[in-house]
Each structure stands twice: as structure tokens, then as C-alpha cells.
């Protein structure tokens, strides 16, 4: 991509977990203010992500975050919900980029030219920045859910299907924060006799 072009990177966080909303971010970096250390958010420590997120918010030409709720995920499926979160982020963008580049295989509706880039979060700095903002925002949202229902351990596993989370599901049942169309949440709902399960 040519230097100096206004590229909007888009990425999501939270497609895989059993609980919580899915988030997406879009970022237009400032070519005159490069940010060092941008990388796929999964390759960074939580502390490094927080530092970079603060820098991105301060130095990017524009950025925005959108989300889709658990109810929307269960209604329209996780792929469509992720694309909806991306569209909501793009709808908030305060300037018009020359191109939108999205991590993965699928593109959300966009008023600007848009294309998907496989493994874009490791290849395109603007997508890396978006992945960091989406991940940091989603992790913060999961901490808020943890404050409401600490028995599930959302502060540690962020809703992913870890052994700890699966045991908490068996012990405490399905919360309003869980995605009811996801396995094993769905199995607990259709097999209420499962040991330790209660609504």
C-alpha cells in the first residue's frame, strides 16, 4: 500500500468465546505519526496491549469501536454479528478513508472501497491497531461482566471455553451473558439433567 494513503483497518475480537458481546474496531493511522510495536493483539501481553491502545487513541487520525450483543449473536449467528459490529464501528468513523481493509475472509458493508486480507492483523499496521483496540475493549467489557457474576471467572478466561469456565457452567448454569447457540452452552440447555446444571 502506498505510503501516506488513509487506510482504515478493521478487526474484531470475541468470535470464539461462549459468553459476552463481539467487538470490532476500525482505525485510520496517521502516516506522519507512526506507532512502534503494532502487532496482532494475540501476540502481545495484556499490559502491552493497554499501552498501545492508549497510544492508538491519542495518535490515530480516527478510530471507533462497535459491538453486537449476545442476543444478536444468537439471532443472526456469530459471523453476521461480527460483521454488524464492524459496520457499527465504521458508521462512527469521523473521516473518510481511501480504502477499508478487514482482517480475514469477509467484509462488512462499507461506504468506501473495502477488501479482506487473510492474516491482515499481522500484515497491515492499521488492522493490527484495530485488533488491539477491539481486544482491549472486549476484555474491559468482560471485567464488567465479572463484577456482576464473579462465579464464572470472566476476569481470567474472558468467556473462552477453558476447563475452569466449563466447570463453572456445569456448577452454576447458563447466565444471561452466555451465547445460547454455542456448544456446550446449548447442550446444557437441552440437557437440564446434566449434573450440577440449573437454570
Asked if the structure places residue 46 within a domain, the reply is yes
**8 class by beta-carbon count within 10 Å (0-12 exposed, 13-18 middle, 19+ buried):** buried
Does residue 184 sit in the same domain as residue 96? no
Percent of the chain with pLDDT over 90: 89
Rg (CA), the chain: 18
Does residue 140 sit in the same domain as residue 158? no
Q: Which three cell numbers stand for residue 93?
A: 468513523
As a whole number, mean pLDDT of residues 1-29 equals 91
19 with 188: CB under 8 angstroms? no
State the total domains in the chain: 2
pLDDT number for residue 173: 93
The residue that leads in pLDDT, 73 or 3, is 73
Q: Which three cell numbers stand for residue 82?
A: 461480527
Does residue 98 sit in the same domain as residue 183? no
Range of the domain at 59: 7-146
Asked if the structure places residue 2 within a domain, the reply is no
Confidence of residue 199 (pLDDT cuts 50, 70, 90): very low
Asked if the structure places residue 195 within a domain, the reply is no
Asked if the structure places residue 89 within a domain, the reply is yes
Question: Over 80: is that where the pLDDT of 144 sits?
Answer: yes
Asked if the structure places residue 112 within a domain, the reply is yes
pLDDT number for residue 4: 64
Asked if the structure places residue 66 within a domain, the reply is yes
- Compute the distance between CA of residue 180 and CA of residue 69 in angstroms, rounded to an integer: 12
Task: State pLDDT tens for residues 101-124.
Answer: 999 999 999 999 999 999 999 999
Does residue 40 sit in the same domain as residue 13? yes
Does residue 135 sit in the same domain as residue 167? no
List the CATH number of the domain containing 76. Answer: 3.30.420.10
pLDDT number for residue 193: 55
Amino acid at each position: 500500500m502506498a505510503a501516506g494513503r488513509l487506510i482504515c483497518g478493521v478487526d474484531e475480537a470475541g468470535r470464539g468465546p461462549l459468553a459476552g458481546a463481539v467487538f470490532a474496531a476500525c482505525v485510520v493511522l496517521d502516516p506522519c505519526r507512526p506507532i512502534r510495536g503494532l502487532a496482532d493483539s494475540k501476540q502481545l501481553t495484556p499490559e502491552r496491549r493497554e499501552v498501545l491502545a492508549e497510544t492508538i487513541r491519542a495518535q490515530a487520525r480516527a478510530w471507533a469501536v462497535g459491538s453486537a450483543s449476545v442476543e444478536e449473536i444468537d439471532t443472526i449467528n456469530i459471523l453476521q454479528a461480527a460483521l454488524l459490529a464492524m459496520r457499527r464501528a465504521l458508521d462512527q468513523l469521523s473521516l473518510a478513508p481511501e480504502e477499508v481493509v478487514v482482517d480475514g475472509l469477509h467484509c462488512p458493508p462499507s461506504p468506501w472501497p473495502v477488501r479482506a486480507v487473510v492474516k491482515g492483523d499481522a500484515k497491515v499496521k492499521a488492522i493490527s491497531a484495530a485488533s488491539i483496540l477491539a481486544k482491549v475493549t472486549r476484555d474491559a467489557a468482560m471485567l464488567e461482566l465479572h463484577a456482576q457474576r464473579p462465579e464464572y471467572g470472566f476476569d481470567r478466561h474472558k468467556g473462552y471455553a477453558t476447563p475452569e469456565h466449563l466447570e463453572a457452567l456445569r456448577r452454576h448454569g447458563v447466565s444471561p451473558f452466555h451465547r445460547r447457540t454455542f456448544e456446550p452452552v446449548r447442550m446444557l440447555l437441552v440437557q437440564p439433567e446434566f449434573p450440577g446444571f440449573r437454570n
